[in-house]
Amino acid sequence: MASKTETCVEELPAVPADVTAQWLESKLGHRIKSVSLSLTRSIFGTASKLFFTIDYADEVADPNSRPTHICVKGVFDPAMAKSQPWTLDLAQREAEFFEKLAPLIKNMGYPRGWWGGKSDKQGIAIMSDLVYEGCMFPPQVASYPLEKVLDGAAQIAALHARFWGQSQEDHPWITNDYDACAKFIIEPWDTVVREPGRPKLPAYLLDGTRVKKALSKYFAERNPKFRTLVHGDAHLGNIYFTAEGRTCFLDWSAFHFASCFHDLVYFVTTTQTVEARRAHEMEILDHYLATLHRMGGPKLDLSDEELMVEYKRAFMNHSVWFTCGYDLHPKERVDAFTKRALAAWVDHKVIEVVEAYSKS
């Protein structure tokens, strides 16, 4: 967990060059002799990840009490911050995660945090560099065997069980910024889905007005029976595997209270081919439900029609992949996830189920 999180009056680093040894020293609380930025591993996307190696000036009894290899995450691309203003909200949210939320999560893996801070123009989290812990990361597109997906589903169930039935009333600082971001991303639907090179959609999904109306309806009518705290962005690109093979989750910038199936369908659909998802989907859902109950959540099963309706409606969260910009994720990933999401929408008649749903 992070040592602390601050709401900063100071101006936080805005570009990579601003992350200096002096600045890091002030946040980590140890004198630094030198620090080197690994430009070959710096990653830019909806948030930037900068990787540093630190040489400290003093020795300490316990080397594990401070990091030698770190990842500094924030919005370090001014052009991105201007064109996609919602990325700032995500960065600020992740900075808060390490102090306020991480200490409450006991049965789900995530990176170790050392400091988090936010200002009105930035949000920064300092985390351990997972590469030096022997962790492995998925490629842009992959499909994992059933045992890996079952492990991830169990991790998600553990998070959900811990916060089952809770809401923003219990944690006022946890606002729902996801819905607004999703609506922002799909706003140009009619134009983006027709761009050359984008995956081809059936005629009924070329109607942006219909899709946007369905997404708004889903957000307004989530079934509170299945409400919990969700990771919010649990796709393939936000997971990693420890040296022991455990599935863990990155990028805690979109957590909010919503339907539990938000995370599950996001994870299952993006980590498997269409064929694998179709073959194992109900087995994975059953494993999730059993783990949820074992971890202290409610006892639910696949025979519950209300549950299955909520499960199918949760696939609406995949709408963001259909219009996701190639500046946010590589084209290879966006196109693959769009095709996987499209197959799930067709299989489960997602739009139709959302439109037919009546909130009682």
pLDDT at residue 51 greater than cutoff 90: yes
Are 47 and 109 found together in one domain? yes
341 within a domain of the structure (yes/no): yes
The CATH number of residue 111's host domain is 3.30.200.20
Identify the sign of the CA torsion 175, 180, 182, 184: negative
Q: Are residues 268 and 295 in the same domain?
A: yes
Q: What is the pLDDT, as a whole number, of residue 88?
A: 86
Contacts with 135 (C-beta within 8 Å, 6 or more apart), sequence order:
240, 241, 242, 243, 248
pLDDT at residue 1 greater than cutoff 60: no
Range from 8-12, 18-22, 168-172, 214-218 carrying the lowest mean pLDDT: 8-12
Q: Are residues 114 and 151 in the same domain?
A: no
Q: What is the mean pLDDT of the chain?
A: 92
Domain termination residue (choose one: 98, 133, 168): 133
Question: Tens digits of per-residue pLDDT, 228-265?
Answer: 999 999 999 999 999 998 899 999 989 999 999 999 99
Task: Summarize the confidence of residues 345-354 as an average pLDDT.
Answer: 98
Q: What is the pLDDT of residue 3?
A: 45
Q: Report the DSSP beta bridge partners of residue 93.
A: none
Residues 57 and 176 in one domain: no
Residues 176 and 296 in one domain: yes
311 and 183: one domain?
A: yes
Q: Is 36 exposed, middle or buried (0-12, 13-18, 19+ CB in 10 A)?
A: exposed
Q: 19 in a domain, yes or no? A: yes
- pLDDT for res 349: 98
pTM above 0.95, yes or no: no
Q: Looking at the structure, do residues 100 and 168 belong to the same domain, yes or no? A: no
The reply to whether 99 and 178 lie within a common domain is no
Does residue 138 fall inside a structural domain?
no
Is residue 39's pLDDT more than 90? no
Average pLDDT over residues 161-186: 94
Domain with residue 165: its CATH number is 3.90.1200.10
Q: Which of 133, 162, 195 is the last residue of a domain?
A: 133
Q: Within this chain, do residues 181 and 279 fall inside the same structural domain, yes or no?
A: yes
Q: Convert the pLDDT of each residue in 71-118 to its tens digit.
A: 999 999 888 778 878 788 888 999 989 878 988 998 899 999 999 988
pLDDT-derived band at 45, boundaries 50, 70, 90: low
Residues 49 and 115 occupy one common structural domain: yes
Can you tell me the mean pLDDT for 296-302? Answer: 97
Residues 104 and 151 in one domain: no
Hey, is 15 helix, strand or coil?
coil
The predicted model gives 136-152 an average pLDDT of 92
Q: Per-residue pLDDT for 137 more than 60?
A: yes
Q: Of 108, 133, 158, which residue is a domain's last?
A: 133
242 lies in some domain: yes
62 belongs to a structural domain = yes
Q: Which residues contact 291 (CB under 8 A, 6 or more apart)?
A: 153, 154, 157, 158, 161
DSSP H helical ranges for the chain: 21-28, 78-83, 86-96, 146-162, 178-186, 189-192, 208-220, 261-270, 274-294, 305-313, 319-323, 331-348, 350-356
Q: Is residue 108 a part of any domain in this protein? A: yes
Residue 181 and residue 289 in one domain: yes
Q: What is the count of structural domains for the chain?
A: 2
Residue 139 placed within a domain: no
Structural domain contains residue 225: yes
pLDDT at 41: 73
pLDDT tens digits along 189-235: 999 999 999 999 999 999 999 999 999 999 999 999 999 999 999 99
Residue 40 has what pLDDT?
A: 66
Domain residues for the domain of 57 are 5-133
More confident residue, 322 or 84: 322
pLDDT digits over 118-133, tens only? 898 899 999 999 999 9
